[in-house]
Structure 1
């Protein structure tokens, strides 16, 4: 079985066909999905999805694109919302200097607030990083010195240095459909060098559909294609990758592991 550790099931792309999307995921062997928060103000929608479907967990956080719209959400509010039993992580939060939809200083401040929430709750932080490697490395290094926290570099598309520093700091690294793209040789080289116990897979659906679905709306079932390419670059079988990344998911997202264990629904590898 596989886990799609990062998707956006609340987006309009899925509103009219969510049952179909979830059925396709199940048929493809994708047994757990994490629908990711982009606005703290919309937490109710993520929570409702997770409450309605045993296969779905959720997170709470502000995407860097939306940092200017939610610049002052306090750590205490993130902690309060994260208490929900189906909320298994903080984020996604981080830095995105590609689109610059929020000022850099605001992104950085909001990111540090999320780091503190992850540190205080013990929940992993889902990190968005795009075209901001040096600031990301600086902030992660500074904050880790202030106190340890768990995190994943989601949808990894950055450089080798950020991957290396992230691993040195104890972070996990998650790969999306980008891994399957023809021009992603560097990302595949980076993936091959990540310690196996730090690897995760995701879709970031509805974005970044993998080959052979590139150009279409992405959906959780397609994480199997990314996992197949990850198997190729790491020298594992598809089953090895499914077993490994599911175990890695439950280790990092330990609240999901506890919830599934309590309900007797933990995924079989």
Structure 2
């Protein structure tokens, strides 16, 4: 009933262009069921599929998922190994579905630390979906917002040193072109599951004016109805971008 109610209230002409999600709570989901941690990560893949499908149906142009942070390497080795294996097999299995639904894949982050096998699978999936244009799915792996900004600055520093640009040419737009999300719009709505209320070094630049939505729902339990609820709350907010309410109403 809640699903239908939220669906009927949504303004389908005013959805976010870009949604980013911190998929949190897999371990707690598994622990609450007395299951191994990896079972939570496996269960999370179905939530990923459902959210991707629903975002496409809702007309969301860009969806970015935080799959693995740079800090996640500090987790137990067996868990990291399991996550990498899950990533590899997901890439191999899901590419056909992305092609079927005309979804382009982009993977961002420092991929150099990943195995050659995973890097090859990423390149293959990105290449196969290059011409898809119904939606862009961006997956952040070994990613950090600070890393992204530092990387962009280093690239600009090299170009500056070589005389390709002048200091006056470095502005926000120029920096954005060097970020791993180059060509994508800023994040309109950031969702984090599991009840945690922080952004954990995710898309720091890109979330400068994002609306935040925090839910206690654990990621494996996150359904299309939960996404609709987030969209409904987003549509009720007033995005002012530094202006007053009076200015926006005029």
What's the TM-score bracket when you normalise by the shorter of the two chains? 0.3 to 0.5
TM-score normalised by length of structure 1: 0.38
Higher RCO, Cα 8 Å, sep 6+: 2
TM-score normalised by length of structure 2: 0.40
